[in-house]
Amino acid sequence: FTKISRMDICDYLQSVVDSENMQVDRNALESIAILADGGMRDALSMFDKAVSFCNANLQYKQVAETLNVLDYDTYFTVTDLLLAGNYVDTLLLFDEVLSRGFSPQVFISGLNAHMRDLLMAKGPAVSLVEFTGTLVERYKAQAAACNELFLFNAIALLTEADGKIRQSSNQRLLVELGLMK
């Protein structure tokens, strides 16, 4: 048993969408594929849940809310704020994420994956970024604004914080310090 690629999951879900004459945002399907982590049964279950809550017109934001996923826009915004050196607004955005019910661990893990994907999107390794369409273009555009040293340092810092977060008595502070560094 091997994991099914995100692209294959998205394509299969798209075939379901087409056969049912539904309107679905491709980014919504990609978020389902990411959450499914290579499992088609999980992907179909999440797709079914999203359809039952959002009806036949699935948009990315609705699916993210329904499946309790921290959306891409959050990570793109955090990265823009970090690149601008605006740690105050970064911390306020992190507080908003926490108030929406996401754990510091989910946030830091997702931000780390985002930084990794930006690093891959900087050059010939872009094929390792498992997104398609407009989302890949967003990654390429933001990656162009990042220098490699920033991305390497961010990944190292976030990986270290992710490893420490489970034992931390104050997870929020650990993430806040990481964001400020």
Q: What is the pLDDT of residues 68-87, one digit of tens each?
A: 888 889 999 999 999 999 99
State which residues of the chain have pLDDT below 50: none
What are the residues whose beta carbons fall under 8 Å from the beta carbon of 142, sequence distance 6 or more?
Answer: 76, 79, 80, 118, 121
For residues 145, 148, 153 and 155, what is the CA-based torsion angle, rounded to 10 degrees?
Answer: 80
Residue type, 94: F
What are the residues whose beta carbons fall under 8 Å from the beta carbon of 177, sequence distance 6 or more?
Answer: none
Whether the full predicted model's pTM is greater than 0.85, yes or no, is no
Strand, helix or coil at 58?
strand
Q: The tokens of 19 are what?
A: 């056969």
pLDDT for 127: 66
pLDDT for 148: 92
